[in-house]
């Protein structure tokens, strides 16, 4: 029967594709349905302006789980990660802070600002690695249910406890602090250079509606510190051909495993009968049936849009309704006629090949957050910029460049009277003006500009409230609480319906872990074919 599958995966983002690939490899007959015309969800490459290929949303990669790269043999399917070397922070004083992957160079550079910090930097790196080693196995683990008496689940809790006991006392205290402190308070214990603390703390706020001084941000800092390429901690990179190349490689691996992928196939409803998912109805009215439905879209779309409320237990629905999204970031992508020329380090050079961070001080970062709390985009936002065309010339015509700017804060909910359709270009102007304070020539070299607001992320990419992680990565929404207490194990109150997106453990970034873990759980329930 052509219209019946073992599994239908809703959404062709990277997690949906990883999920499908693992299920396909286990012999399941899998169909992936993607609403857009291309695969990848927020991990996509689009030629927005002729000759310029933008990684429209997600723009750097580091968290992609190595076991997924291995299992799906992604390099054979065209995945190539190019390293992103260092972080350059221009300062208003005319100075800069430039950290690179070369240890000696970074040490000398930080010592130029503070000798104490240069010494502390090495120690900090070691402490963070110890903590990453503690947290990493948790990322590959299906969260235990703390409410159960099942010995297997209790063993998992014990395993975490034992690993914790296995750490040195110094690392244990760091770990406890890290789970509860603000990024700045945590960094204050190590460093004194303002621009260093500000730039490092930025990792603690990405994708959250928190400020660098908000408790809980130290954990997000660690989450981003866990970046791993070729087994090396804390290395970030680009995919050759843009972020979409990652999704395409996963898509190819899935197809090779027999998975069928359809684009421009929007879902209207999930068919539920007697508490069991039976299939889906497409926007065009077609009905497709399957034994299992695996949804990689966020809980709001899955449960509030695709399923009737009366099919769900009231408790569960209440938890899903209070799951917080609150997107806080936007993207501004530019096609450039040349390279930005920084006042503090004029001309082209290797400093442009890494990340360029507009995060001059802790106070700057915190004030950016203050604006957002009251429903305004930051007048002076935190910007993380990369110029991928310097590392990967295939994304721009010769001599031209692509500038990709991640911008925070851009709160989804603006204050009464403002809306994103009206504010979109003003937001873009703010970003350009902010960059111009450090690289005044930017205004003269912009050929095209694309502004992606949280509202765009919601409308075009199906990310509710524009949250890039399908829901805030705050402590109360992590591990066995993600996305709902009691349902952190990829299963849902509806039989045969699973979640496999970033809204499940362990969440954010191009990690693929939720997709893989969900596939393994589905196979556990349904058995391999």
**Residues that bind another protein in the complex, under the rule CB under 8 A:** 146-147, 169-170, 172-173, 176, 180, 185, 188-189, 210, 213-217, 315, 322, 324, 363, 366, 370, 373-374, 474-476, 480-481, 485-486
Q: Which is nearer to another protein, 93 or 169 (CB)?
A: 169
Q: Which is nearer to another protein, 217 or 391 (CB)?
A: 217
Bin 527: left if φ > 0, else alpha if -120 < ψ < 50, else beta: left
What does the alpha-carbon distance between residue 202 and residue 200 come to, in Å, rounded to a whole number? 5
**Under DSSP, is residue 452 helix (H, G, I), strand (E, B) or coil?**
strand
Kindly report the backbone phi and psi dihedral angles of residue 345, in degrees, each rounded to the nearest multiple of 5, phi listed first: -155, 80
Q: Which is nearer to another protein, 305 or 324 (CB)?
A: 324
Q: Which is nearer to another protein, 106 or 217 (CB)?
A: 217
**Under DSSP, is residue 386 helix (H, G, I), strand (E, B) or coil?**
strand
Cβ of residue 210: shortest distance to another protein, in angstroms?
A: 6
Q: Which is nearer to another protein, 170 or 337 (CB)?
A: 170
Identify the H or E element spanning 448.
strand 446-452
Cβ of residue 152: shortest distance to another protein, in angstroms?
A: 17
Instruction: Please name the residue ranges forming H helices in 437-497.
Output: 442-445, 454-461
Cβ of residue 484: shortest distance to another protein, in angstroms?
A: 9
Cβ of residue 373: shortest distance to another protein, in angstroms?
A: 6
Q: What is the DSSP string of 51-109?
A: TEEEE-S---B----HHHHHHTTGGGGT--EEE---EEEE-TTS-EEEE-S-HHHHHHH
Q: Which is nearer to another protein, 392 or 472 (CB)?
A: 472
Identify the H or E element spanning 268.
strand 267-273
- Spell out the residues 6+ positions from residue 202 whose beta carbon is closer than 8 angstroms to its own: 212, 357, 359, 365, 382, 384
Query: Quick one: DSSP state of residue 278?
Result: E
Q: Which is nearer to another protein, 189 or 394 (CB)?
A: 189
Cβ of residue 117: shortest distance to another protein, in angstroms?
A: 15
Query: Quick one: DSSP state of residue 303?
Result: I
Per the structure block, which two tokens stand in for 110? 């930080």
Q: Which is nearer to another protein, 251 or 506 (CB)?
A: 506
Q: Are 529 and 26 in contact (CB under 8 A)?
A: yes
Cβ of residue 457: shortest distance to another protein, in angstroms?
A: 22
Q: Radius of gyration (Cα) for the chain, nearest Å?
A: 23
Q: Which is nearer to another protein, 315 or 444 (CB)?
A: 315
Cβ of residue 207: shortest distance to another protein, in angstroms?
A: 14
Q: Are 242 and 388 in contact (CB under 8 A)?
A: yes
Cβ of residue 149: shortest distance to another protein, in angstroms?
A: 9
Cβ of residue 486: shortest distance to another protein, in angstroms?
A: 7
What does the alpha-carbon distance between residue 40 and residue 17 come to, in Å, rounded to a whole number? 8
Kindly report the backbone phi and psi dihedral angles of residue 521, in degrees, each rounded to the nearest multiple of 5, phi listed first: -70, -40
What does the alpha-carbon distance between residue 328 and residue 211 come to, in Å, rounded to a whole number? 11
Q: Which is nearer to another protein, 172 or 276 (CB)?
A: 172
Cβ of residue 136: shortest distance to another protein, in angstroms?
A: 21
What does the alpha-carbon distance between residue 407 and residue 356 come to, in Å, rounded to a whole number? 12
Cβ of residue 428: shortest distance to another protein, in angstroms?
A: 27
What does the alpha-carbon distance between residue 430 and residue 381 come to, in Å, rounded to a whole number? 8
Cβ of residue 215: shortest distance to another protein, in angstroms?
A: 4
Q: Which is nearer to another protein, 216 or 506 (CB)?
A: 216
Q: Which is nearer to another protein, 28 or 491 (CB)?
A: 491
Q: What is the DSSP string of 391-441?
A: T-GGGS-TT-EEEEEEEE---SSPPTT--HHHHHHHHHHHHHHHHHTT-TT
**Under DSSP, is residue 474 helix (H, G, I), strand (E, B) or coil?**
coil
């Amino acid at each position: 029967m052509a219209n019946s599958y073992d599994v239908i995966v809703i959404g062709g983002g990277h997690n949906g594709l990883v999920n499908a690939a693992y299920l396909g490899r286990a012999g399941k007959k899998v169909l992936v349905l993607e609403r857009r015309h291309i695969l990848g969800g927020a991990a996509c490459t689009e030629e927005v302006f002729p000759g310029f290929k933008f990684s429209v949303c997600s723009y750097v990669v580091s968290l992609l789980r190595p076991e997924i790269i291995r299992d799906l043999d992604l390099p054979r399917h065209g995945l190539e990660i190019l390293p992103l070397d260092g972080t350059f922070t221009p300062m208003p004083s005319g100075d800069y802070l430039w950290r690179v992957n070369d240890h000696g160079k970074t040490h000398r550079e930080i010592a130029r600002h503070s000798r104490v910090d240069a010494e502390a930097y090495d120690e900090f790196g070691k402490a963070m690695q110890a903590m990453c080693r503690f947290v990493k196995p948790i990322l590959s683990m299906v969260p235990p249910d703390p409410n159960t008496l099942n010995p297997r689940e209790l063993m998992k809790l014990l395993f975490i406890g034992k690993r914790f006991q296995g750490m040195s006392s110094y690392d244990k205290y760091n770990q406890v602090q890290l789970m509860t402190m603000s990024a700045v308070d945590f960094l204050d214990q190590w460093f004194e250079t303002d621009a260093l603390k500000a730039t490092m703390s930025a990792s603690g706020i990405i994708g959250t509606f928190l400020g660098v001084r908000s408790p809980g941000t130290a954990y997000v800092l660690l989450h981003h510190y866990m970046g791993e390429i070729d087994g090396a901690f804390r290395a970030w990179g680009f995919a050759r051909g843009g972020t979409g190349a990652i999704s395409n490689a996963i898509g190819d691996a899935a197809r090779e495993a027999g998975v069928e992928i359809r684009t421009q196939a929007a879902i209207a409803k999930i068919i539920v009968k007697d508490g069991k998912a039976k299939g889906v109805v497409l926007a065009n009215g077609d009905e497709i049936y399957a034994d299992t439905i695996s949804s990689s879209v966020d809980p709001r779309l899955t449960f509030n849009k695709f399923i009737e409320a009366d099919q769900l237990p009231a408790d569960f629905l209440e938890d899903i309704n209070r799951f917080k999204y609150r997107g806080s970031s936007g993207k501004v992508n530019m096609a450039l006629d040349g390279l930005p020329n920084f006042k503090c380090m004029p001309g082209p050079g290797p400093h442009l090949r890494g990340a360029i961070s507009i995060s001059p001080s802790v106070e700057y970062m915190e004030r950016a957050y203050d604006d957002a709390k009251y429903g305004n985009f930051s007048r002076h936002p935190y910007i993380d910029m990369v110029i991928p065309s310097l590392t990967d010339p295939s994304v721009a015509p010769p001599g031209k460049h692509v500038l990709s700017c991640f911008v925070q804060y851009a709160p989804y909910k603006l204050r009464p009277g403002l809306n994103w359709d009206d504010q979109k270009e003003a937001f873009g102007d703010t970003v350009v003006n902010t960059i111009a304070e450090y690289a005044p020539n930017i205004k003269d070299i912009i050929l095209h500009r694309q502004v992606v607001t949280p509202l765009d992320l919601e409308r075009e990419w199906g990310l509710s409230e524009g949250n890039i992680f399908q829901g805030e990565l705050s402590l109360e929404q992590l591990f066995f609480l993600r996305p709902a207490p009691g349902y952190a194990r990829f299963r849902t109150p509806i039989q045969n319906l699973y979640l496999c997106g970033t809204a499940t453990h362990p969440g954010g970034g191009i990690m693929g872990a939720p997709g893989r873990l969900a596939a393994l759980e589905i196979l556990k329930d349904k058995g391999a074919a």
